[in-house]
Amino acid sequence: MKILKVVKRIFIVLFCLIFVLVLGYSITLLFENIQAHQKIANIEKFIQPIDALKISPKVQLVSIGEAAHGSSDFQELKLDVLKKLVQEDGFTAFALEADYGECATINRYIQGKEGSIDKMLQNFSFPIYHTEQMKNLIQWMHDYNQSAPQDKKLRFYGFDMQNPETSYDFLKHYCLSHSYATEEEFDSVLGNESITLDAQNAQKVVDFLRGVRNKMGNYNPSIDDDRDAALEINSVTQAANTWLLTPSQNANTADGSNSRDADMAKNVETLLKIEEKIGSGKMLIAAHNGHIGKSIYSKIMGDTMGVILSRDLGEKYYAIGTDFWEVTDNIKTFEARERSIQKFISADPLAAQARFAKDGKYFLDFSAITDQNSKIYQLIHSPMRMGDVGEGYMWMMRLFPNQSSRIKVKPSQMFDSMIFVYKAKPIQIF
């Protein structure tokens, strides 16, 4: 009986200790949110509409980030920024965090070929792009090109390499029409229908496509099919090398993530060089904040795409970050492998100020904030909480938001400017 009493007391003490720790942690999070939500003095004079975005003539590459993939507000911002850069700064290209082959089909439609946007969107391996917002962006680019002179026409690219199978049909047609391979040779490697790239066939596919690329030699980037063939071959071989042929790498490892970012940076720079030859040499890219930022926010991370682009391009690269105070996010769950609607709070004091802006969103140009004694200057030059929601949810994120859906960084080190949304809405996937 004495032992049971001792065990009972230990259990009660442990329960009380855990309760106190959980309560203290919850109060700390609540206090952090309340403190971050306070109004900043004279914030109105810093709040600007999206149209206030001004970039130097030296800038060739602008990026627009997403603090959460599953929000319609951040997808709408892509088109808002694209329109301004095209109409006022002469930009002629848009590139998305998606596989090149997926986007090449869309680009052919934008150039005037027949097609259904709804069907093209379904080709995206990321369902976050199966939305009305992406449809509107593609339709606007298509309609713009209908009356634009040849040197002003827009192009739509992808710089990721996570759905290489979408390239097979085009590559087969290209190889046969240029006599780079017979149908039998192509099918012996890639099958009669689109196959899944896996560890068993990856090296064979890479060797075959490298042979095709060697036969192509130097190509003229202004010839659409030649350009697409070269870049789709590149996308497939990158996917194989990054995810399948390097033992320490896959989509879920740090090495795989770092290799992907390095490949994406290389692809963006290749696209920019192409645009210098066939367009204005100015391009907008869109990806998650974590990919476009000019500095890393975790010591365990390697150089991200944005870090590499900033180092290689210098002042030619301009990064626009985004954040929310509250987001209702359409996000994939890790456990069930299905989508769910979840809410997150960023505890970002600058995003909290969006409640005072028209339509609950505003643009903040960091270069215009020069008073070192002002609260807003101190915030953008000091580590602060920001939202950081990717494409994966688990219930533990509710308990530890600071370790899962938030980061703590100096905004001015990550971005040149930011767009803040007070309450971001979820995407509707069709």
Residue type, 297: Y
- Least confident range from 13-17, 153-157, 201-205, 245-249: namely 245-249
The reported pLDDT for the residue numbered 73 is 98
Task: Count CA within 13 A, CB hemisphere, residue 226.
Answer: 11
- Least confident range from 52-61, 162-171, 179-188: namely 162-171
Task: Count CA within 13 A, CB hemisphere, residue 189.
Answer: 22
When pLDDT is averaged across residues 3-21 and rounded to a whole number, the result is: 72
The reported pLDDT for the residue numbered 239 is 87
298-303 long-range contacts (CB < 8 A, ≥24 apart) are: 298/407, 300/254, 301/254, 301/257, 301/258, 302/254, 302/257, 302/258, 302/261, 302/262, 303/258, 303/261, 303/262
* 3-class SS of residue 192: coil
Q: Is the model's pLDDT at 25 over the cut of 70?
A: no
Q: Is the model's pLDDT at 1 over the cut of 70?
A: no
The reported pLDDT for the residue numbered 251 is 53
Q: Mind listing the pLDDT tens digit for each residue in 304-324?
A: 999 999 999 999 999 999 999
List Cα–Cα distances, 324 to 129, 318, 411, 422, in angstroms.
20, 21, 14, 5
The reported pLDDT for the residue numbered 122 is 92
The reported pLDDT for the residue numbered 245 is 63
Q: Mind listing the pLDDT tens digit for each residue in 69-118?
A: 999 999 999 999 999 999 999 999 999 999 999 999 999 999 999 999 99
Gyration radius (Cα) of the chain, Å: 24
Phi-psi region of 366 (alpha: psi -120 to 50; beta: other; left: phi over 0): alpha
- Res. 254 pLDDT band, cuts 50 70 90: low
The reported pLDDT for the residue numbered 398 is 85
Q: Mind listing the pLDDT tens digit for each residue in 366-404?
A: 999 999 999 999 999 999 999 999 999 998 888 888 888
The reported pLDDT for the residue numbered 3 is 75
Closest CA to 283 of 141, 95, 75, 83: 95
Tokens in use for 300? 């365990």
Task: Count CA within 13 A, CB hemisphere, residue 142.
Answer: 18
Give the helix ranges, DSSP H, for 131-201: 132-147, 168-177, 183-190
The reported pLDDT for the residue numbered 399 is 85
* Chain mean pLDDT for the chain: 91
Residue type, 424: A
pTM: 0.92
* 3-class SS of residue 349: helix
Give the integer Cα–Cα distance in Å for 267 and 56: 24
Percent of the chain, pLDDT > 70?
Answer: 92
Q: Mind listing the pLDDT tens digit for each residue in 337-360?
A: 789 999 999 999 999 999 999 999
Residue type, 418: M
Q: Mind listing the pLDDT tens digit for each residue in 108-167?
A: 999 999 999 999 999 898 999 999 999 999 999 999 999 999 999 999 999 999 888 888
Dihedral of the alpha carbons of 220, 224, 229, 235, in degrees to the nearest 10: 100
When pLDDT is averaged across residues 396-420 and rounded to a whole number, the result is: 93
Give the integer Cα–Cα distance in Å for 213 and 233: 7
